[in-house]
Amino acid sequence: MFSFKKVHLFVWLIGGIFPFPVLSFDIPSKVYGILEEHPAVQKLKLQSNAALLESSAKNGLPDPELMVGINNFPLTKPSFDDYLPTNKSIGIKQMFPSLAGREARAETIRIRSSLIDLKSSYIVHQLFGKYLKAHAEKVASDERRVVLKEQRYLLDRFEKSLNALAEVSDAKAFERLAALDVQRADLELREILLDEIAASALTQMKAIDEDLVIENKLDGANKLRVPLEPYSFWTELLSKVSREIASADVIVKSSAYKPDFGVSLTYQQREKGTSFRGDDWISLKALIRIPFWAARTHDNRLAAAKAKENAARLGVSLSRRDSEEQWNILNVKRESALNTIARLLKKADVLAQSLKANRNNYESGLGDIASFHTIEMKQLQIKDQIIQYKLKADKTTISLHMLVRRRV
């Protein structure tokens, strides 16, 4: 009598697929440190440091000007002692730009630095999400490879049974043996596809950071739970900082209407002549820059800055709206994948009952050996489909986490 191994598929489905393992998307500090070494993040960090240094420079005073000269020097009879107004001078001038303008420009650069820092965190967050997706692809391909191995085992077992039937001239056995070759070819193609998927996933993981792959510091980090509600969307946060930069730029442009001040100190020396004595004296002057041409220059610049500020405000709303739309779409896709898995589980339960009935019929001499093989192969096909839909649900959940900012 034909003997077969019971397939406890439904037990595997309940224990291995549901409930979905819980994931905390909070990035482990060690992993965050590794991802911070990524070239894209390092580039932004250098830009942030440069912005902070530039901010300090913007808040300082301009360099003083040193003036050295000869005043009222005669050309017809060059001399320092024949002409009374002739003198030599040396002086220094220092300008004091508007304090409000200097502080506004420095604040703008500081906000730009904070935007760069936020972008660095965003990139780390996205790299972590991409790594988890690739990791999920690799795990799923490995699980599907196990299913493929089980299918090969069923084909080999069925082939042995058919060969035994062929020896007693069972016509159907010959037909079914020929069909097995087609099924084996299909399994070979699937194995090639799984190899490509696994290689691609591993390449993506190494491209993000090879240390994460080698040292496997993400063990246990690929267990996901969808966030219950949207937190702070990354795009919205970035838009808010951009709005702050635009608002600070309005202050910078407004400060242009305020006058800049300056002071100069000059020392002058006159040589002793035949009809006058030599003498030394100093000159002290105060300077003020008046925005006389404001209508042609500052007005347009201020209007442009205000327009950009308004556009940045709208950008925050649009970013929020777009992120919420993506959030809702991803949730629909995730729920669809979970519902499909639930339907496949019910189908697996039906197949398990059918397998039990066919076994009873076969043991009583009423069943056909092919029915066992067909049902068991369908069970493994469902197992493979569940792995694929579980991967889809996991990757969608990761995408949801990539939309929002979470803590390290």
More confident residue, 398 or 358: 398
3-state DSSP assignment of residue 23: coil
Alpha carbons 142 and 194: distance in angstroms, whole number: 8
pLDDT at residue 174, rounded to an integer: 63
More confident residue, 219 or 227: 227
Q: Residue 222: pLDDT above 60?
A: no
Q: Residue 10: pLDDT above 60?
A: no
3-state DSSP assignment of residue 274: coil
Q: Residue 379: pLDDT above 70?
A: yes
Q: Residue 4: pLDDT above 60?
A: no
Highest mean pLDDT of the ranges 37-41, 136-140, 213-217: 136-140
Q: Residue 81: pLDDT above 60?
A: yes
Number of C-beta neighbours around residue 54 at 10 A: 16
Q: Check: CB of residue 237 under 8 Å from CB of residue 245.
A: no
What's the chain's length in residues? Answer: 408
Parse the chain into domains and list their residue ranges: 9-61+97-257+294-403, 62-96+258-293
Give the model's confidence band at 41: pLDDT under 50 very low, under 70 low, under 90 confident, else very high: confident
pLDDT at residue 243, rounded to an integer: 93
Q: Which helix (H) or strand (E) holds 87?
A: strand 87-96
pLDDT at residue 365, rounded to an integer: 64
Residue 211 burial (C-beta neighbours within 10 Å; 0-12, 13-18, 19+)? middle
For the segment 182-211, the average pLDDT, to the nearest whole number, is: 84
Q: Residue 217: pLDDT above 50?
A: no
Fold of 9-61+97-257+294-403: Outer membrane efflux proteins (OEP) (1.20.1600)
pLDDT at residue 213, rounded to an integer: 53
- Residue from 66, 94, 59 nearest 287 by CA: 94
Could you give the percent of the chain with pLDDT greater than 90?
24
3-state DSSP assignment of residue 37: coil
pLDDT at residue 106, rounded to an integer: 83
pLDDT at residue 370, rounded to an integer: 72
Q: Residue 408: pLDDT above 50?
A: no
For the segment 356-367, the average pLDDT, to the nearest whole number, is: 70
Q: Check: CB of residue 319 under 8 Å from CB of residue 233.
A: yes
Q: Residue 309: pLDDT above 90?
A: yes
Q: Residue 310: pLDDT above 80?
A: yes
pLDDT at residue 219, rounded to an integer: 41
Q: Residue 11: pLDDT above 50?
A: no
Number of C-beta neighbours around residue 391 at 10 A: 20
For the segment 360-379, the average pLDDT, to the nearest whole number, is: 74
Alpha carbons 264 and 92: distance in angstroms, whole number: 6
Cα angle: 299, vertex 304, 305; to 5 degrees: 100
Chain-centre distance of CA 147, in angstroms? 34
pLDDT at residue 358, rounded to an integer: 75
Per-residue pLDDT tens digits for 109-120: 888 888 888 888
Q: Residue 299: pLDDT above 80?
A: yes
* Residue whose token pair is 């694929």: 388
Q: Which of 98-102, 351-355, 358-362 bottoms out in mean pLDDT, i.e. has the lowest?
A: 358-362
Q: Check: CB of residue 10 under 8 Å from CB of residue 352.
A: yes
Q: Residue 105: pLDDT above 60?
A: yes
Q: Residue 211: pLDDT above 70?
A: no
Q: Residue 363: pLDDT above 80?
A: no
**How do beta strands 279-289 and 65-71 pair?**
unpaired
Per-residue pLDDT tens digits for 161-177: 767 666 656 656 666 77
Q: Which of 199-208, 308-317, 399-408 bottoms out in mean pLDDT, i.e. has the lowest?
A: 399-408
pLDDT at residue 285, rounded to an integer: 92
For the segment 276-303, the average pLDDT, to the nearest whole number, is: 83
Q: Residue 335: pLDDT above 60?
A: yes
pLDDT at residue 107, rounded to an integer: 85
For the segment 336-362, the average pLDDT, to the nearest whole number, is: 86
Alpha carbons 172 and 333: distance in angstroms, whole number: 44
Q: Residue 350: pLDDT above 60?
A: yes
Q: Residue 60: pLDDT above 50?
A: yes
